[in-house]
Amino acid sequence: MPELPEVETTRRGIAPHLEGQTVRSVSVRNGRLRWPVPEDLSVRLEGEVIRSVERRAKYLFLNLDSGSVIVHLGMSGSLRIITDDSAALTHDHVELMLHSGVRLRYNDPRRFGCWLWSSNPNTHPLIASLGPEPLAPEFNGVYLFRRSRGKSTAVKSFIMDGHVVVGVGNIYANEALFKAGIHPRRQAGRISLSRYHRLVEVIQETLMAAILMGGTTLRDFVNSDGQPGYFAQSLLVYGRGGQPCSECQTTLKEIRMNQRATVYCTRCQR
């Protein structure tokens, strides 16, 4: 599934082509996504100007004067900027045609993504209860420390909880915990303030590095310009179970936590 850096990379890729542009037409070829595409989406969008493209967690907002389109890429979705006359592919389900001649095309083979409408996206049920952004000032060591008190939840599950903080998906949780030297199964409530300061620092460093390098290359994801991300070349533990630790050469251990691959060093992480 595309994680926060992939979604932010997509936002940065499509925003310059969309912002300030008027929607000429909307084509919904298959509205049966995770939730049905609103039947009146074309009525709401045609003739309207896209004022901005924003990201909240893994959701993208196409903001207009009257409201916003909420887009989620799901497990296999991607957005493309189309500037030629190339025909739609089998899994190109939604397309916006702009007066500039540019088209925004949504492709989603598994159809787990969504295109929804909201007059105020921040109050939408999918958005309203989300935690802070991981790169925002309010996400800091003190915040995590206070939220973790009394929690027996494993720290990996804790930082992947979208009600605690958004966008720290499985890949980046693995990487951040390794860099912070924290065992993924350690109880969240038993981690000190100083270690949470360090964990926040490496979460932010890891996500920023991934954004700058174009996200992590996953089988179903390519950027809005059609090029894959390159951050996978920099992964220290994820996908490296059974290989030597880059710090101490101990064999990295891979387990399953909440049905997710979890890789860690038994020597470096406590």
Residues marked active site are found at: 2-3, 58, 260
Which stretch of DSSP H or E encloses residue 43?
helix 41-45
The reply to whether 91 sits in an annotated binding site is: yes
CA 159 to the chain's CA centroid: 14
CA 45 to the chain's CA centroid: 25
Report the interhelical angle of 141-148 vs 193-212 (nearest 10°). Answer: 120
CA 115 to the chain's CA centroid: 16
> 169: burial class by Cβ within 10 Å (0-12, 13-18, 19+)?
buried
Residue 176 burial (CB count, 10 A): 24
The reply to whether 151 sits in an annotated binding site is: yes
Residue 222 burial (CB count, 10 A): 20
The reply to whether 179 sits in an annotated binding site is: no
Residue 47 burial (CB count, 10 A): 11
DSSP of 47-76, one letter per residue?
T-EE-EEEEETTEEEEE-SS-EEEEE-TTT
Which residues sit in the known binding site for DNA?
Answer: 91, 110, 151
Which residues sit in the known binding site?
Answer: 91, 110, 151
